[in-house]
Amino acid sequence: MCGVFGVYSRDRDVARLTYFGLFALQHRGQESAGIAVAESGHVTAVRDMGLVPQVFDEEKLAALPGEVAIGHTRYSTTGGVHWSNAQPLVHHGRARTVALAHNGNLVDPAAARDELLADGVRLASTSDTEVIAALVARDPAPVADAVARAMRCLEGAYSIVAIADGVLVAFRDPHGIRPLTLGRIGEDWVIASETCALDIVGADPVRDVRPGEVVWIDETGLHSATAVPERRSALCIFEQVYFARPDSRLGGTEVHAARVRMGERLAEEAPADADLVMSIPDSGTPAAIGFAKRSGIPYEEGLIKNRYIGRTFIQPDDELRRQGIRLKFNPLAELAGRRLVVVDDTIVRGNTTRALVQMLFGAGAAEVHVRISSPPIVSPCFYGIDMAEEDELAAAHRSNEEMREHIGATSLHHLSVDGMQSATRMPDGSVCRGCFTRTYPTRIPNAANLAKLRFEKTPA
Ligand code: 5GP
Ligand code: MG
């Protein structure tokens, strides 16, 4: 998963705007951050491991002048935490230089990759992102045509911002799996993964980049073309459940409100007899509020979360490691003797949930009723959320009772697929919910390709 941002402006400080855009998209990726600018067509990029404020300071931003900028925050959970995977990446091709930032994951980049290699193109990495950049950089056609041609060779999820020929370009896969939205500051155009990044720079939301659309922004304004015909809409429902920031709007729905409705619906589907409703902060909080509202059981805080743990957090020594999740969460004394409804958004591997349940009993809780505001995750994501392999997913091969036992809770219930869908207020069949249903909007890689992807995949 990743966050992307882009801006074209002749009179604003585009690198600084991008910095703040990325700051609002930090939740989408905490491993590395980068900004590329172009001044009169000349591209400069700065990228490094760490959080946005760790990578950039005044001096670095001042060294990034230009009229167009793109930025990226990167997230991955498995391997590949290398500087060489930081984006935006810059690829010098026969026809042009392309700086590019990608959110998503291609399903099977191998064919396009082999074709590029056969054509003598040198690829520095095994990343699918470089394949996309190389396809555009090699093509002598005008940039929008080059992008359109590249899009016809790609399958999977991609929401992309790029700089080519001094122009800001953005394009999105024909299913629109990852979000990408357009905004305006005065006469200038801004592009971002989520509306919260438009809000932070004072941009007014205009519309989403349409699935299959390529837009390009130059000194004459915004231009658009349909590069590939729009397919069945398949916006990732996990964005609504967990990934997007609650103050963003996705497909016209405020994410926070959707999560509150998931909690309300959960209270209807799986009520509990308890003294208080609490959340696993922060991601479980909107649904816990909804659960409390609908059940009439008071909402209280039960766990205090340390919010300053980034991914570049200094690794604890063994003694501290035994404290495990206490680095992140500490329970309040008032839980003692009480029956808790504990609401979280998802169980992935189940390890955090099990440790938290244990911690709550350790704090003296009488009962711990775990309520999850999404259905059981039973299948991997092939589109850029690096959840886990199927075998690592706690719910993939367990019944609800086995899951309950696994996490050690008094009771456990998940929201139904229908309940989740109706809470988003998005039409049935307009989303991807493959991780919950095993039904995907595209071809998925076969076992052989998947094994290869394990090495080659660069989560966007
Ligand atoms: P588990 O019990 O599966 O180990 O962890 C569940 C917790 O992980 C939940 O609080 C949920 O909010 C969080 N979570 C869900 N999806 C992701 C993800 O993609 N990345 C990270 N870092 N946390 C996640
Ligand atoms: Mg969470």
Q: What atom in ligand 1 is closest to the CA of residue 386?
A: 19
Report, as residue numbers or ranges, the catalytic residues: 2
What is the number of the ligand 1 atom nearest to the C-alpha of 345? Answer: 12
Q: How many Å lie between the centroid of ligand 2 and the Cα of residue 299?
A: 17
CB 249 within 8 A of CB 256: no
How far, in Å, CA of 437 to CA of 373, rounded? Answer: 15
Rounded Cα gap, residues 34 and 107, in angstroms: 25
Write the CB contacts of 228 (distance below 8 Å, at least 6 apart in sequence).
148, 151, 152, 174, 212
List, in sequence order, the alpha helices (H) in 201-275.
237-238, 255-269
CA distance 179 to 290: 25
pLDDT tens by residue, 115-126: 999 999 999 887
Q: What single-letter DSSP state applies at residue 83?
A: G
**Ligand 2 centroid distance, CA of 28 (Å):** 13
Residues of the chain with pLDDT under 70: 76-81, 310-316, 446-460
* 272: its two tokens: 């509990």
Q: Is 9 helix (H, G, I), strand (E, B) or coil?
A: coil
Predicted TM-score (pTM) of the model is 0.94
Pocket test for ligand 1, best of 1, 78, 352 (most atoms within 8 A of CB): 352
pLDDT of residue 121: 96
Instruction: Give 301's contacts (C-beta < 8 A, 6+ positions apart).
Output: 278, 281, 332
Evaluate: CB of 350 within 6 angstroms of ligand 1.
yes
Ligand 1 contact via 279 beta carbon (within 6 Å): no
77, 242, 311, 381: residue to mutate for ligand 1 pocket, most atoms within 8 A of CB: 242
pLDDT digits (tens, 9 = 90+) for 151-201: 999 999 999 999 999 999 999 999 999 999 999 999 999 999 999 999 999
Using CA positions, which residue lies closest to atom 6 of ligand 1? 347
Pocket perturbation via mutation, ligand 1, pick of 346, 347, 356, 381 by most ligand atoms within 8 A of CB: 346
Segment 343-370, tens digit of pLDDT: 999 999 999 999 999 999 999 999 999 9
Specify the residue for token string 């896969």: 173
Does ligand 1 come within 6 angstroms of the Cβ of 407? no
Residues 293 and 222: their CA atoms lie apart, in Å, by: 44
Q: Which residue is associated with the tokens 């394949």?
A: 131
DSSP string, 306-358: -TT--TTPPPP-HHHHHTGGGGTEEE-GGGTT-EEEEEES--SSSHHHHHHHH
**Residue 337 to residues 276, 342, 361, 409: CA-CA distances in angstroms?**
11, 15, 9, 15
Domains of the chain (ranges; CATH) run 3-234 (3.60.20.10), 255-429 (3.40.50.2020)
The CA distance from 33 to 398, in Å, is 38
Distance (angstroms) between ligand 2 centre and the Cα of 157 equals: 24
CA of 166 to the centre of ligand 2 (A): 40
